[in-house]
Chains A and B, each alone.
Chain A
Amino acid sequence: MAHVDVGNGNKTSTLEQLQEWVRGTEALLGPIVVIGNDGSQTAGTFDQNNPANPGPNSDANVRQTNDGSAPPGKTKVCDGWPFVSGQVVHVVIYR
């Protein structure tokens, strides 16, 4: 079992709080590979077979997006539709 699905237990996190949740959960379970929702909360899939911190300055960044692409020069991890402040929002996660 390499991947584990967990939720953050709410819909109301801000984008900054969501980013903190991703970073904290990566420290606990490993790098995030999927972000989304299960209808009642934000959820993510984390890869337990890989190091929590793949390299220096490797904290995950979460930003709202229109097209799912990472900013220039950044490496995209995944994009999806978690809850942000009660709404389903398209975000991209990158390092």
Chain B
Amino acid sequence: MLEMGADTLSNDSGTGGFDMTTLNGKSAHLRGAVRKCLLLICLGSLGACASFSAMPRPVVPTAEAVAIAPQYRVDEALRRYHSPLASDRGGMDPRQWRDQVIGIYLDATEARYQEFRIGLSQEMRGANFGIDIGVIALSAVGTLASGGTANALAAATGGLTGARASLAKELYFERTLPALIAAMDAARDEILTGIYQNLLKPETEYSLERAFADFRALERAASLDQAVQRVTVQAATDAAEQHQAFQNVQTVVRTIPATSRPEISRIRDNINALVNANNDSAFGLVMARLGLPRTGSLQQQSTAALINIGNLSEADRATVLNDLKQQNVDLARAPGG
């Protein structure tokens, strides 16, 4: 089933296996219709596969590549790796042994991964599994897309379980699966790069145990679940960048509860009144009590004071207001008070 190379496609696309004699006695119109249907099915299969699964058959068959790895079982490979006898490693030193063992495992997992990629479309096509993943992934990829594509994907997400399931599946194969495979490829490439870089180090810095751990991470990266997660996170990040209206806002204002807002508004009005009246002595007391520097324009200083007060806890704000009131600066007084 997973060996879906050119041979499989050519067998599917031919009509030689179909017993046309069963149509004897039927009308020529019916025969024509059947031929058209077969042709459409074959074209559909080719179209669905061509975007991500069509590739040459591997030079080394997957079974052959994978069959070597069990000859280097993890426990036995580690025992030989740590053995003081080079003869246990076929005359190799531990680093050479490490490189050989991991090389064999990497070759095997690469073969398995390529087989997985090729077979993915067949496994998902015709199974509810594809629909389930499609619901999640279309939502994520729909966020990445724009204009008509986004609308179509959004429609597909809503319609996966409804009457538009066929449209949704088509969109899923056309749009979503390549994105998920790209995400899996990217995740594997990151880990593979790390492994190859580490293999340049001596075994004292990159042991066989660590190499096996990285190898297991590499296998886990070939996961559709993780791919969906990566695509979703990327979609959110891209959307944020696309709609970013500000650059690195440094000043944070915490949420001021509704009960504090009337008092906060009075403080704002009173600080503005001090600044507008050039009452620098009173405003200086406020800045000093808040521990703020007298740098920048008066407007900048008053803004800093306001934000500082707004970010105080209610208890701390009450203390500050009380201290200032004792210095005849009543920031909480009502208008006209």
Residues of A in contact with B (beta carbons under 8 Å apart): 1, 4-9, 17, 20-21, 23-25, 27-30, 34-39, 41, 43, 48, 52-53, 80-81, 83, 86-88, 90
16 cross-chain CB contacts under 8 A: A1-B299, A1-B303, A5-B251, A7-B250, A9-B252, A20-B257, A21-B253, A21-B255, A27-B264, A27-B265, A28-B264, A28-B268, A28-B307, A29-B253, A35-B245, A88-B240
Among A5, A17, A39, A53, max chain B CB count under 10 A is at: A39
A28 and B246 contact, Cβ closer than 8 Å, known pairs A23-B261, A88-B240: no
B295 part of interface (Cβ distance < 8 Å): no
Closest-by-CB residue of B relative to A21 is: B255
Whether the pair B249, A25 counts as a contact (CB closer than 8 A) is no
Whether the pair A24, B256 counts as a contact (CB closer than 8 A) is yes
Q: How many residues of B contact A (CB 8 A)?
A: 36
Instruction: Chain B residues near A21: list those with CB within 8 A.
Output: 253, 255
A81 and B299 contact, Cβ closer than 8 Å, known pairs A8-B253, A23-B258, A24-B261: no
Whether the pair B252, A6 counts as a contact (CB closer than 8 A) is yes
The CA of A24 and the CA of B269, in the complex, are separated in Å by 15
Contact check: which of A5, A7, A39, A48 meets B299 at CB < 8 Å?
A48
Instruction: Chain B residues near A29: list those with CB within 8 A.
Output: 253, 268, 303, 306-307, 310
Taking the nearest CB of chain A, how far is it from the CB of B332, in angstroms? 13
Residues of B in contact with A (beta carbons under 8 Å apart): 236, 239-258, 260-262, 264-265, 268-269, 297, 299-300, 303, 306-307, 309-310
A38 and B303 contact, Cβ closer than 8 Å, known pairs A24-B261, A27-B265, A83-B240: no
Whether the pair B240, A17 counts as a contact (CB closer than 8 A) is no
Taking the nearest CB of chain A, how far is it from the CB of B262, in angstroms? 8
A8 and B245 contact, Cβ closer than 8 Å, known pairs A24-B261, A28-B307, A88-B236: no
